[in-house]
Structure formats: C-alpha cells, structure tokens
C-alpha cells in the first residue's frame, strides 16, 4: 500500500507542478531528480545518462542543408518524412506531383528550412532540395562544358524557355541554329541537346545554346575539308547567300566567298546580275586561311581574260565605241568590250578648260565614241580621249585671234586679280583687273561685270604653248589720259566730290570720270574743319602722273596760296613806298598768280639785297 502511495505521490509531483516547471529551460536544468525517491523505477540511472541516451536517438541536422529522409505516411495533401530528428517533417503533396508512384518507405531528399518553428514543427521542402541539387548539377555541367538534354517549354520574347534539371533557362533565338529561324513554335515541347554558355550566380539566370553544338560540328567539317583544299582547285558549290559585296558558296559543309570583283571580268553592279540563290556553280579556289577558316573563290577565273583576246590590230589613234560604266571626278571608264575598259580623263573630254568634273560631261550608261590615246597590253591599260574627235581650236589661234583683234567673250569666273572669259569653246583668256578701266581703281571685277555676261575684249598677248590669252577690256576705248594731261595740269583748279574716305586720305571724283587722291592735310578747309564724305569742294592739281595714272589733289592749297599772294602783295607795297623797284615787284607778283609760290621767297630776298 505504501508503494502504491509513493508512486501516486511521485506521479502527482511529476505530473503536477514539476511538469509545469519543466517547460522552461532554466527550471529543467535545476530539476531535482532526487525527489522521486524511488530508485526501483529508474534503476539508479542518473539524469546525465538519460539526457545522453535521448540525445543519441536524435539525428544531428542543420538549417539550410539537404538530407535524405524516409516517407512514413502519405495523405491527399501531405507527405510525412522522417529524417531521424525528434519529429517528422511535413511536405505538401504537390511537391511530388512529378512522382505519382511515391509510397511509404521511399527515400527522398529534403531541404531543412527550420528545425523548429514557433509550433515546434520541423519545416522541410522537397522542391527546394531538388532546386539546390539541380543548381549544383548546372554549375558542374557548366564548369565541365558538358552537353545536356533540355525540354523546350514555351516561347518568350527573343527566344525560348528550356527546362534543365527542373530549372528554367533561356535559349536566345540567335542560339537555336546557325541559320536564321523564322518559326520558333516548331521547337516547343521538344527535347534537344544544349550547352550552358552563361550563368549569373546572383540572379540565378542561365543561358543555353544549341547553335554552339552545330558550330562545333561544322567546325570539324571545315577542318576536314580545308585540309584537302589546294589553290587552283575547281569545286562545285551551291549559292547560299548573296550580298552587295559578293556571293557565299556552300562547298559541302564549309562556305567560301566570291567577291563581287571575281564574278566577272566586266563591271558588275550587283552579284544578282551573275548568280541566283540555290544555283550550282563551278568555282576555283583562289586562296584559303587554315587558321581563320576563310576560303576565297573565283568565278571569272574559269574563263580567259578578255585582254588576251583583244583585237591585235587595235592601235593608238583608232576610234572606238563603248559604254560609260563608271564616272568619277577625275574621269570616266568606258567599256569597249566585256572586261576591256579605257579611262577618259576629265582633261581629255573637251577642249574647254572650265570643266571641273567628268560628271558634268557624261553619265553612266552613255554610249560614246573616243580616240585611243595610249594602249599597254601587258599592263592591260588603255587611255581614251573624246575631245580629239574635234579640231583643236588653238591650232590656228594666231590667225583667228591675232594680237590687237577685238572680240566678244562670256564671263566664266572671277578671281581677286581678274576675270576669266571664254571667247569660244576651248579658247579662254584672262582680263587682269588693271585692264578693266582706264579711270577707276577697280577693287573687284564684279564692279564692272557679272558671271555669264558678255564683255568686249581686245587680245593683248598669246601664249600658244601654255594655251593662255591675255585680254583687255579698257583697250576697247582710247586712252583718255592723253586728253587728261592737257585738262588736269598742275596748278589748275577743278570741282570734285569726296567719294571715299581712307586712313591715308580721300578719293575724289573729278570731271570726265577720273579720280584723284588727297592726303588728310590737304583736306583741311579754311575754317580749320576736315572735309567730309560726299562733300563737294574745289581742288588744286599738285601732281599729275600719266604713266601711273595718278592725280594728287589739295583743297587747302587753294586758300593757302591766296593767303601767300595777299601777304606778298602787302610786302611789295611797303617796299615801293621806300623807293623799291616797282617794275621788279610787279614781275615778281605775276609768278604766284601762276602757281609758282617758291619764287616769292626769291623775290623777297632780292628786294632785301636791293635795299641794302
């Protein structure tokens, strides 16, 4: 009875407040096992031994690791898995939808998310474990550059989504095949071989390629084919692609290029003029590069060069017909036979010298005649001329445009030093700016004429060797300076208008269209002010140079001379009163009136000597 009482008391104590206390870690550590008081129940086993024994029955697990567990129970919604921990983990049945044959006792991998949540439940995930294992496989495959199988799930922008090891990866459209793909849908729901070409560890993005596998296979085929190639070898190929610069030929696993210049001996505007897609052609190997896997092919080389069959009787001076195939600034290429061309330089197109570009004279497609100027059969070069079909206008230049003859020309161009004019086609000359006017100081030719206008000229000089004509415009009229010499004598006074003010003086317009020049000191008026632009004043001629066509003027000299005369007259009168020689004084006074002021000084000196 006492034994049953002791057990009952022990149960009450353990199940009572001591069990309540045991819920906390601190009280568990301080739990007094001796209060049990019944050694028969525990057979003398200590607390540490019990804890150690219990700990050995619990597996050691860590958060965020993958372990293998055994399925203990399966329901419609959940799967219970024992991983050797103190409690079973529960996984949603949806994570095993790929495995409909799952049964109790099967071993599966799970990922430990949390050993114990707030409810004391072990949190695990089978899907997460698969993802981690798959990601490890992906990295291993990428590092080892292995080929793997992938399932094409669907299309996406720019490519396809591919499932590899349960992870979605991206297949760019450019990496599907070596040829451009227009319809992506034909690859959906298919399993294909791929190679992982890029992994972003941070964003967990994977890029795969099917094209690299094809390229590797083609690369091997290229090596095999190129190893058997020889220069000059003739092969049959299929036109694979046509571009503006040439044609790609499939030689049976390796491509070669026929450059547009190697398609035909003649000019080719576009390769489509010679070949068509999928057309079979015999080609010759011109060159190849083992390292870069490039093969240069030729088509025109299978036929003889046209220059080898050129007419043996063709010689310099012969007239040929042809079609303009290329036009450049410096000239035009004329095809006189397929593959045989000659150059007409721009200087050989017309006798005129103002032609700046060949495009002003001919255009592509023009049918023309030309004279053979040079022929080099070995170098396969020919130069032609068009202007030689007409007579050279300079041949009889001395007879037709003799020195002194007068003609009407057309203004072609201006320069700072003169005007270029054309008397007839091929005959051009220069009117120097100094030969435009007898009387005016011309600063630019546009003051006298304009481009395209007619102008009368006189031939001044002929340089037949250099094809140069010196012409004059002012020579059409007589030189007015012969008349001006008698009108604008030194000392004479004329009315003029100031038409231009310069730093060194002013340009003055005089009668008869002639111009003179006055320095600043000769522009001072009697009241001390300076003459202004457009002001009309009287000017005295102080210098006239017929050869230099120069007239120097002075306004101030007019009133200065007048003042000197008045002063001189006053001095003479005073000397007469003192008995001077009146006759001599009168003679002396006549000279200043005529403009020779310098003699007044001599007169004054003589009068002083006479007085003494």
DSSP 179: S
Residue 309: predicted pLDDT: 80
Residue 18: predicted pLDDT: 44
Residue 361: predicted pLDDT: 87
Residue 518: predicted pLDDT: 93
CA distance 38 to 13: 13
The string of pLDDT tens digits covering residues 554-580 is 999 988 888 888 888 877 666 666 655
Return phi, psi of residue 482, to 5°.
-65, -35
Q: Is the pLDDT of residue 285 over 80?
A: yes
User: What's the per-residue H, E or C state across 59-123?
Assistant: CCCCCCCEEEEEEEEECCCEEEEECCCCCCEEEEHHHHCCCCCCCCCCEEEEEEEECCCCCCCEE
Encoded tokens for 506: 């002013």
DSSP 309: G
Encoded tokens for 37: 């008081």
CA distance 361 to 331: 10
Q: What is the CATH number of domain 481-554?
A: 2.40.50.140
What is the average pLDDT across 241-256?
87
For the CA atoms of 461, 465, 466, 470, the dihedral, rounded to the nearest 10 degrees, stands at 10
CA distance 326 to 500: 55
Residue 291: predicted pLDDT: 66
Q: Which fold does the domain 229-302 belong to in CATH?
A: OB fold (Dihydrolipoamide Acetyltransferase, E2P) (2.40.50)
Task: Name the band, by pLDDT with cuts 50, 70 and 90, for residue 259.
Answer: very high
Residue 587: predicted pLDDT: 45
Q: What is the DSSP string of 126-162?
A: HHHHHHHHHHHHHHHHHHHT-EEEEEEEEEETTEEEE
Q: Where are the beta strands (DSSP E) in 173-227?
A: 191-200, 205-209
What is the average pLDDT across 311-323?
88
Who wins on pLDDT, 8 or 245?
245
Residues counted in the chain: 612
The C-alpha angle 547, 549, 551, rounded to 5 degrees, equals 120
Who wins on pLDDT, 191 or 129?
191
CA distance 94 to 53: 37
Task: Name the band, by pLDDT with cuts 50, 70 and 90, for residue 156.
Answer: confident
Who wins on pLDDT, 478 or 544?
544
What is the average pLDDT across 12-32?
47
Helices 582-593 and 598-611: crossing angle, nearest 10°? Answer: 170
Q: Is the pLDDT of residue 123 over 80?
A: no
Who wins on pLDDT, 55 or 262?
262
Q: Is the pLDDT of residue 17 over 70?
A: no
Q: Is the pLDDT of residue 22 over 60?
A: no
DSSP 452: T
What is the average pLDDT across 11-27?
45
CA distance 259 to 514: 72
Residue 111: predicted pLDDT: 74
Encoded tokens for 285: 């190997």
41 Cβ partners below 8 Å, 6+ apart? Answer: 7, 10
Q: What is the CATH number of domain 145-215?
A: 2.40.50.140
Task: Name the band, by pLDDT with cuts 50, 70 and 90, for residue 603.
Answer: very low
Strands 454-463, 319-328: pairing is: unpaired
- Closest by CA position to 295, among listed 223, 242, 245: 223
Task: Name the band, by pLDDT with cuts 50, 70 and 90, for residue 82.
Answer: confident
For residue 264, the Cα-to-chain-centroid distance in whole angstroms is 32
Domain range 66-130, CATH architecture: Beta Barrel (2.40)
Strands 255-259, 246-250: pairing is: antiparallel
CA distance 150 to 133: 16
Query: Per residue in 59-91, is it b (16+ CB within 10 Å) or e — as a string?
Result: eebeeeebbebebeebeeeebbbebebeebbbb
Other beta carbons within 10 angstroms of residue 331's beta carbon come to 22
What is the average pLDDT across 385-414?
86
Question: What percent of the chain stands above pLDDT 70?
Answer: 80
The model's pTM is 0.43
CA distance 446 to 53: 121
Q: Is the pLDDT of residue 597 over 60?
A: no
The string of pLDDT tens digits covering residues 429-463 is 899 988 888 777 788 888 888 888 888 888 888 88
Task: Name the band, by pLDDT with cuts 50, 70 and 90, for residue 11.
Answer: very low
Q: Where in the chain is the domain with CATH 2.40.50.140?
A: 66-130, 145-215, 229-302, 306-389, 397-476, 481-554
336 Cβ partners below 8 Å, 6+ apart? Answer: 320, 321, 322, 342, 382
What is the average pLDDT across 241-252?
89
Q: Is the pLDDT of residue 335 over 50?
A: yes
* Tokens 């190129």 belong to residue: 226
The C-alpha angle 553, 475, 498, rounded to 5 degrees, equals 25
Q: What is the DSSP string of 275-286?
A: --TT-EEEEEEE
Task: Name the band, by pLDDT with cuts 50, 70 and 90, for residue 553.
Answer: very high
- Closest by CA position to 584, among listed 603, 608, 557: 603
Q: Is the pLDDT of residue 15 over 80?
A: no
Helix (H, G, I), strand (E, B) or coil at 417: coil
- Closest by CA position to 134, among listed 190, 206, 195: 206
Other beta carbons within 10 angstroms of residue 260's beta carbon come to 19
Helix (H, G, I), strand (E, B) or coil at 436: coil
Beta-bridge partner residues of 369 = 321
Task: Name the band, by pLDDT with cuts 50, 70 and 90, for residue 32.
Answer: low
Phi-psi region of 347 (alpha: psi -120 to 50; beta: other; left: phi over 0): alpha
Residue 196: predicted pLDDT: 87
Residue 508: predicted pLDDT: 92
Dihedral sign for Cα 9, 12, 14, 20, please: negative
Residue 343: predicted pLDDT: 92
The string of pLDDT tens digits covering residues 161-213 is 988 877 888 988 888 887 777 788 888 888 888 888 888 888 878 898 888 88
Strands 381-385, 340-345: pairing is: parallel
Domain range 397-476, CATH architecture: Beta Barrel (2.40)
- CA separation (Å) from 144 to 18, 21, 176, 196, 604? 61, 59, 21, 10, 126
CATH of the structural domain 306-389, one choice from 3.40.190.10, 3.40.50.150, 3.30.70.260, 2.40.50.140: 2.40.50.140
Q: Is the pLDDT of residue 497 over 90?
A: yes
């Amino acid at each position: 009875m006492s034994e049953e009482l002791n057990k009952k008391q022990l149960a009450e104590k353990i199940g009572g407040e001591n069990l309540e206390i045991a819920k906390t870690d601190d009280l568990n550590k301080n739990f007094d096992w001796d209060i049990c008081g019944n050694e028969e129940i525990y057979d003398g086993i200590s607390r540490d031994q019990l804890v150690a024994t219990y700990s050995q029955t619990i597996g050691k697990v860590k958060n965020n690791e993958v372990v293998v567990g055994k399925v203990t129970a399966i329901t419609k919604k959940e799967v219970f898995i024992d991983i050797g921990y103190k409690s079973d983990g529960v996984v949603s049945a949806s994570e095993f939808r790929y495995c409909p044959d799952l049964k109790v006792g099967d071993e599966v991998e799970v990922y430990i998310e949390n050993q114990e949540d707030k409810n004391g439940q072990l949190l695990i995930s089978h899907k997460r474990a698969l993802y981690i294992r798959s990601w490890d496989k992906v990295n291993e495959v990428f590092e080892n550059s292995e080929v793997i199988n992938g399932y094409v799930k669907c299309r996406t922008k720019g490519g396809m989504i591919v499932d590899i090891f349960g992870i979605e990866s991206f297949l760019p459209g450019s990496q599907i095949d070596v040829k451009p793909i227009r319809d992506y849908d034909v690859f959906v729901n298919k399993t294909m071989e791929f190679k992982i070409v890029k992994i972003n560890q941070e964003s967990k993005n994977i890029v795969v390629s099917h094209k690299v596998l094809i390229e590797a296979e083609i690369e091997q085929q290229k090596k095999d084919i190129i190893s058997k190639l020889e220069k000059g070898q003739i092969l049959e190929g299929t036109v694979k692609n046509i571009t503006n610069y040439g044609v790609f030929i499939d030689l049976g696993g390796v491509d070669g290029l026929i450059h547009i210049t190697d398609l035909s001996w003649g000019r080719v505007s576009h390769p489509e003029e010679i070949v068509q897609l999928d057309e079979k052609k015999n080609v010759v190997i011109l060159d190849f590069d083992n390292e870069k896997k490039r093969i240069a092919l030729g088509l025109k080389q299978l036929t003889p060069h046209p220059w080898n069959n050129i007419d043996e009787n063709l010689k310099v001076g012969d007239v040929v017909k042809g079609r303009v195939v290329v036009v450049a600034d410096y000239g035009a290429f004329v095809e006189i036979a397929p593959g045989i061309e000659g150059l007409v330089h721009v200087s050989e197109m017309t006798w005129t010298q103002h032609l700046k570009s060949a495009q002003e004279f001919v255009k592509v497609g023009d049918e023309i005649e030309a004279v053979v100027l040079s022929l080099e059969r070995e170098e396969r070069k020919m130069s032609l001329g068009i202007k030689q079909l007409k007579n050279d206008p300079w041949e009889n230049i001395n007879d037709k445009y003799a020195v002194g003859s007068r003609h009407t020309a057309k203004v072609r161009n201006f320069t700072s030093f003169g005007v270029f004019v054309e008397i007839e086609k091929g005959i051009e000359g220069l009117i120097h700016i100094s030969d435009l006017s007898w009387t005016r100081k011309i600063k630019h030719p546009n003051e006298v004429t304009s481009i395209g206008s007619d102008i009368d000229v006189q031939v001044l000089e002929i340089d037949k060797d250099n094809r140069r004509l010196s012409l004059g415009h002012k020579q059409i009229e007589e030189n007015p300076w012969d008349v001006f010499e008698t009108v604008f004598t030194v000392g004479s006074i004329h009315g003029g208008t100031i038409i231009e003010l310069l730093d060194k003086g002013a340009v003055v317009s005089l009668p008869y269209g002639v111009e003179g020049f006055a320095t600043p000191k000769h522009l001072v008026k009697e009241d001390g002010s300076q003459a202004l632009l457009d002001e009309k004043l009287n000017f005295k001629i102080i210098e006239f140079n017929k050869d230099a066509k120069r007239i120097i003027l002075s306004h101030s000299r007019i009133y200065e001379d007048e003042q000197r005369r008045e002063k001189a007259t006053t001095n003479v009168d005073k000397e007469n009163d003192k008995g001077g020689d009146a006759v001599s004084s009168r003679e002396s006074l006549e000279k200043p009136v005529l403009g020779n002021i310098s003699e007044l000084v001599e007169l004054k000196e003589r009068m002083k000597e006479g007085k003494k």
